[in-house]
Amino acid sequence: MVTAHARQPQHNPVMTSPTVLAFDVFGTVVDWHGSIVRELHQLYPRVDGDAFALAWRAGYQPAMQRVRSGELGWTRIDDLHRLILDDLLPEFGLAHLNEAQRVHLNRVWHRLHAWPDAVQGLQLLKQQHTICTLSNGNMGLLTNMAKQASLPWDCILSAEVFRAYKPDPATYLGVAHTFDVPPEQVMLVAAHQDDLDSARACGLQTAYIERPLEFGAAHVKDVSPSPHNTLHATDFVHLARQLSQG
């Protein structure tokens, strides 16, 4: 049972104001579920967009695991998304899609929409901090997404740069190394506790962002605070407010 007390946001003191804010992207900055459902509805209205989006995303961790285990060599998320998609299409009655249609659909991940607070929040956060991505998405995907969704990154960093997927420490520590700062001057911002846990184990500060609708309105996500995070925010604007008071 989740008590009222346990749901109270935690306010651990920020030890040092972070120089760099590194953002998880899928689910934290952009609404992958809603964006995929919307596009599928337009392209293939008879397909269950909710189930399709969830199945596509569910293939993500196992696909990365095939790279981590060495079964696949280094592979970009674009290519992993495509492997999963090709497996998925027959299950949803879309086995007939031709190559151009598959390429186009796979690029939906480049066209994901930002959560409503994201652009304003990033603009605020950018005034006091260096803001960058730290995503398993590849550089091209993240750049196209930023251009389309007007995400004002100072720098795009990706698993592709570090040749390792999160939660490999090389990714979290890679951000600190890139900006030549100690890990505690970097804060990971994410809507996923496991990502934050891994960052914290590397010495980063952590901020949890509530994205209760990440998996769609039919699958509301538990966004309870963890006492281990440095900050807990309802959205990016709330995070900016907390950091400016820190």
Return the C-alpha torsion angle 206, 212, 215, 218, nearest 10. Answer: 160
Cα distance between residue 21 and residue 153, in whole Å: 10
Q: Which of 28, 106, 130, 205 is the binder for its own copies (CB under 8 A)?
A: 130
Applying CB under 8 A, among 67, 125, 149, 157 the residue interacting with its own copies is 157
Nearer to its own copies, 10 or 144 (CB): 144
Contact 130, 21 (CB under 8 A): yes
Least CB distance to its own copies at residue 81 (A): 13
CA distance linking residue 211 with residue 221, whole number of Å: 7
**How many residues of this chain bind its own copies (CB under 8 A)?**
20
Options 22-30, 113-121, 146-154, 190-198: segment touching its own copies (CB under 8 A) = 146-154
What's the rounded Cα separation, in Å, for the pair 199 and 177? 14
Residue at 156: amino acid letter: I
Site string for its own copies, 174-203 (x = CB under 8 A): ----xxx-----------------------
- Our measurement of the distance from residue 148's CA atom to the centroid of its chain's CA atoms, rounded to an integer in Å, reads 16
Segment near its own copies (CB under 8 A); pick from 67-75, 172-180, 202-210, 234-242: 172-180
Whole-angstrom distance, CA of residue 240 vs CA of residue 224: 20
Check binding of 35 to its own copies (CB under 8 A).
Answer: no
Tokens of 57: 């995303």
Report the candidate in 224, 198, 201 with the shortest Cα–Cα distance to residue 211. Answer: 224
> In whole angstroms, how close is the CB of 153 to its own copies at the nearest point?
8
State which of residues 140, 183, 203, 246 lies at the interface with its own copies (CB under 8 A): 140
Kindly indicate which of the ranges 57-65, 151-159, 185-193, 214-222 contains the residues binding its own copies, using the contact rule CB under 8 A.
Answer: 151-159
Residue among 14, 51, 119, 139 that touches its own copies (CB under 8 A) = 139
Residues 66-95 that bind its own copies (CB under 8 A): 78
- Cα(226)–Cα(139) distance, rounded to whole angstroms? 31
When asked if residue 123 is in the footprint of its own copies (CB under 8 A), the reply is: no
CA 163 to chain centre: 17
Tokens encoding 22:
């590194």
Binding piece for its own copies, criterion CB under 8 A, among 66-74, 111-119, 138-146, 219-227 = 138-146
CA distance 105 to 157: 24
Residues that bind its own copies (CB under 8 A): 78, 130, 132, 138-140, 142-144, 146-147, 154-157, 160-161, 178-180
